[in-house]
A and B are shown apart, each in its own frame.
Chain A
């Protein structure tokens, strides 16, 4: 197989459309005259019984075509993706401020909004649980607490030479995709529904729309050309607006668009789970862990959504890259009266890793050893020992020791450490900090059955190709990568291939484009489809052209058949004339993975992706302000399919992670109202937050598993590289008190949190003396 495109820095297939404003998003679609705008009214209460809902004034408001509440839903009200718990419209009570109450369709959005204001709703307030600790105290859980265990943590702890405990509160994160949630519902004949949605999960959305309409999946079609960003926030969270639009379209027989403005989007839709991590560890004089006990408490919000899988993944990443001989890792899925927290790049993994990185940090300071040395001493082994994870999977390709050594050298870690120590000793209120953090991230959906994908490839008899697969394009460049795979299979230039919108009518029963799996799964499925067609072409060539089927080769727009060269177009034309089918579907199911949820043991992941980063920060001890001065990243993308797109994921992931850990603060008031619900109050990184010195490199290597092109998934893992910045801040804070005491610093490390941590550590230092 020629390798014309795979491995090349091909630009995103929509790049020229992006930069000229010609890429079409849902809100840009020209809709037929007479279409309506839907607006969904939201609960002002965090927890209340709805005692009455009078919508008569809403109905008579100007421009209104339909008003629906739960009682008007023809099918099922619950649209929980895995477990029930998410009503499409409130059904008698509300469980978070921002929950959908009823929906209005009107000629314009402002008419719909104005109408909604006229609703007369009365409530009986109920007690609201607004934080993790209260939920735990009251035993308010989505499921009963559970644990992953290996060895005997309690016994080992008791015997350990050194013990430490600590806790870390980890903030949530809003996705802040630039394009908010939006869907258009177009009613057809027989009550069929065509949905244009900005969703990562067209198949689930199709299923849920059918469910609320009281129909089946065959009656509903979902199309997604592209999303204006998603990051996990459009895995399950795209469904409510699509279902509401479909209900309004059914009620009116007209096309309905529902689009959340930024504030509504941020108040109504799920976010990254806030976590509390409490830990107790035992370790030897070198800082090597003997035993670790972790409690991970996730704020799941009011409903299960994907929380269980997310908590699972947090627990699966409680080891990060470190060997835990004896571990007790407990998970608590706390139910609170907040929006239901959901998937977000990393899917619990980042919170899982942050816990043990705090442990490494504290051990290092406790023993007076550089955290890099404690990191290295605890890594998984490479020789078949110290390689079992707490859930029983073996770490077969542990490249972290090598990767970290390379980064340590290329970043001048040791020398900078010396310089920084000298700087901090000489400077009154500016303190610098440095940290290296590694990452190991498991690739595969932990629910094994989701690891499947389909594709559909049509070769037209002029030699052009239409490619469709079950994955969705959200900016990551999935379509480009899959096209690179197919172009190389057929030896044609990229512009011979048209990548079309994802469409449930073309590829059915797809999994969400999530878990970093988009290219792994869909690339393989598309290749399978292409190879099916190629097998038919080989048989045709053998039969009709007398060629040895094995000897067909495709390159540069030509097909080499034995000695003969035909153009690809000419060849497929001949095949067509001989009535050979030039269209095929492809399928892929990830091999090797098995996991038993009952024992919590198995091999949930096909492989691991690795990386490490060194961040250096400067902190102002008078104000708590801080800045990342330099970041060095070494990341493992296997044999990258497209280094330009992969670099984009790495850099974008780091900056997004930096936002999560430093500036992005979700702030709920005492009544459970989110007060940071727009960019004026919720601060994602801006261009100036890019480290002035930013050095990103790929680790040279390839995937030991037979993944597409020996590449590795790169969507989620880089987000966790930003933990290096958080621990660098912690390092700078600790330097205020001589680098001996462990700072109490939670995330996001806003200037306020940093200044308060500095005050706290100064006080502890002073009382100690």
Chain B
């Protein structure tokens, strides 16, 4: 019998062998009778269930992150602090963000409100809290409100964030850190509930050994894809191996030649290293899911999920990234574009997992562009996603990588279009040529996200847009509608 331990309401909670398929939301509402946290969708998309997780970073600093409790599995709390709406404040003792929400008339029906308060609370404790409407809207993109139209919520947030970091949680920080240190775990956590097991190894060797021994286990990283198998697919996951505690898998390092991203590092930790070299990808990553999803979701999960509409594969293919795959004691390194074999099929062998992603550093001779087309700008799955990289030497394109998501059964390069560009100067006419050739590369499908016609035409136009964005003669004129806001 093992128990998971986490900090909740100032105390260390111990739960013996919890059901690993139980979500934190259901645990709060059904087991604990804490009904302040709401369910609006059970798929990570509305934010009504937002709670805050406290954990220690590599320097033992306490960090608070908003996550969606509806897709967060209970044992993942092991070693962390859970803060739900009931803990943030009470009507007689409102937290500054709650106070501001009341003063700004930020709630109407109130159903979304606890989630907004939780997100604002995390922002209140962020390293650099938002100071303008656009930045705060980004931080709240994972919280939907159907009543207010958001203006009063944004006003409340901006008002409260002016005094950020000055609350009772801040005052208790040192205590919280020592409590968290006290529940740090040395080895692998293993729990058993009925027929369901959950293990959380801490080293890559242990992970490899565990997965090799039970290759039918489900690897759980952020759970932003497989959490939905439980809440939406209503399937039961019987053997779960959690990768989020594996140190080697959560590290992000940069050296002279490459950026190496542990497969289980959440976007929040991984993305800054990428956008530092490739600022062209900033907008795309800021629109991949929203804060709550990026605080949990990982590159490894996105790649392994092998969805044709995942956003990182086109980016990584354009960047010539490699994957290091591990099975038992063996590692192999492959180019990411060879990873996908068919619709949701990959080269992964039984018991093999993605250990890390290796991205070559920026090449100054290269031009980069990354694009995501969606119905709604924030937190929407791409209809088309494009990752482009051109090497231009002596005014001639010598290498081209034009990768697309949403255009085929797998993330895929447009080889015909690429060939059109080699040996050509990079200009509007070449972009047109490549765009036309792209018609031979892809036969996209129609579905509820977009029609085949739109996918084809907009993908072609993204190449034209790429030219406009990289035109050396480009003046300060914006090229995209988001540049205006």
A interface residues, Cβ below 8 angstroms from B: 9, 11-12, 14-25, 27-28, 30, 110, 113, 175-180, 226-231, 261-263, 427-430, 474-477, 618-620, 622-627, 629, 644-645, 647-648, 651-656, 663, 665, 667, 675-676, 678-681, 683-690, 692, 694, 750-752, 755-756, 759
Contacts and interface: CB of A to CB of B under 8 A. Distances in A.
B317 interface: no
Nearest to A753: B454
B405 to A, nearest CB: 15
A16 B94 contact: yes
Interface stretch (B141-149, B187-195, B394-402): B141-149
Contact of B477 (A229, A427, A692): A427
B447 to A, nearest CB: 7
A428 B41 CA distance: 41
Contacts of B254: none
A21 B35 contact: yes
B38 A651 contact: no
Contacts of B373: 623, 625, 751
Contacts of A654: 149
Contact of A229 (B88, B111, B143, B453): B111
B289 to A, nearest CB: 10
A690 B153 CA distance: 11
Contacts of B480: 430, 620, 625
Nearest to B89: A20
Contact of A655 (B34, B41, B42, B149): B149
B350 to A, nearest CB: 30
A676 B449 CA distance: 9
A23 B90 CA distance: 11
Given A16-B94, A230-B109, A629-B485, 18 more contacts: A15-B105, A15-B110, A23-B110, A28-B29, A178-B46, A262-B43, A429-B468, A430-B481, A623-B461, A676-B448, A680-B43, A683-B380, A687-B141, A687-B143, A687-B150, A687-B153, A751-B454, A756-B454
A620 B458 CA distance: 11
B87 to A, nearest CB: 10
Contacts of B43: 262, 678-680
Contacts of B457: 755, 759
Contacts of A11: 102-103, 105
Contacts of A625: 373, 377, 480-481
Contacts of B106: 19
The 10 closest A-B pairs by CB, nearest first: A21-B36, A475-B109, A228-B111, A18-B110, A655-B149, A21-B85, A475-B108, A28-B35, A679-B45, A18-B107
Contacts of A623: 373, 458, 461-462, 465
Contacts of B34: 21
Interface in B468-483: 468, 477-482
Interface string B13-40: 0000000000000000100011111111
B109 A622 contact: no
A752 B146 contact: no
A178 B375 contact: no
Nearest to B465: A622
13 contacts: A21-B37, A21-B86, A227-B109, A262-B46, A475-B107, A622-B465, A627-B485, A645-B105, A679-B40, A680-B45, A683-B374, A688-B141, A692-B134
Contact of A20 (B29, B85, B379): B85
B36 A22 contact: yes
A638 B117 CA distance: 33
Contact of A652 (B86, B110, B149): B149
Nearest to B118: A21
A619 B480 CA distance: 9
A751 B109 CA distance: 31
A110 B447 contact: no
Contacts of A750: 375
B197 interface: no
Given A18-B113, A687-B141, A692 B107 contact: no
Interface of B: 29, 33-43, 45-46, 48, 84-86, 88-91, 94, 98, 101-103, 105-114, 117, 133-134, 136-138, 140-141, 143-154, 232, 234, 290, 373-381, 383, 447-451, 453-454, 457-458, 461-462, 464-465, 468, 477-482, 484-485
A177 B146 contact: yes
Nearest to A647: B105
B45 A629 contact: no
A692 B109 contact: no
Interface centre among B90, B150, B468 (most CB of A within 10 A): B150
A475 B448 contact: no
A309 B287 CA distance: 41
Contact of A262 (B42, B134, B140, B153): B42
Nearest to A14: B110
B66 to A, nearest CB: 14
A229 B147 contact: yes
A648 B41 contact: no
Contacts of A681: 381, 448-449
B112 A178 contact: yes
A618 B85 CA distance: 39
A351 B144 CA distance: 25
A686 B109 contact: no
Contact of A618 (B84, B105, B454, B484): B484
B303 to A, nearest CB: 20
A689 B145 CA distance: 12
Contacts of A688: 134, 137-138, 141, 377-378, 485
B118 to A, nearest CB: 9
A130 to B, nearest CB: 15
Nearest to A16: B91
A751 B48 CA distance: 27
Contacts of A655: 148-150
A763 to B, nearest CB: 13
Nearest to A21: B36
Contacts of A755: 454, 457-458, 461
Contact of A12 (B39, B108, B453): B108
B146 A686 contact: no
Contacts of B38: 25, 178-179, 228
A19 B102 contact: yes
A752 B448 contact: no
A644 B114 CA distance: 21
Given A475-B110, A679-B144, A27 B35 contact: yes
A692 B117 CA distance: 22
B481 A679 contact: no
Contacts of B144: 176, 178, 679, 684, 686
B108 A652 contact: yes
A760 to B, nearest CB: 12
A427 B46 CA distance: 37
B375 to A, nearest CB: 5
Nearest to B287: A688
A726 to B, nearest CB: 15
A624 B148 contact: no
Nearest to A681: B448
A20 B141 CA distance: 21
Given A21-B85, A179-B38, A263-B232, A684 B146 contact: yes
Nearest to B93: A20
A694 B383 contact: no
Contact of B110 (A226, A644, A690): A226
A427 B108 CA distance: 42
Contact of A648 (B46, B112, B147, B290): B147
B100 to A, nearest CB: 9
Interface centre among B48, B149, B151, B477 (most CB of A within 10 A): B149
A687 B146 contact: no
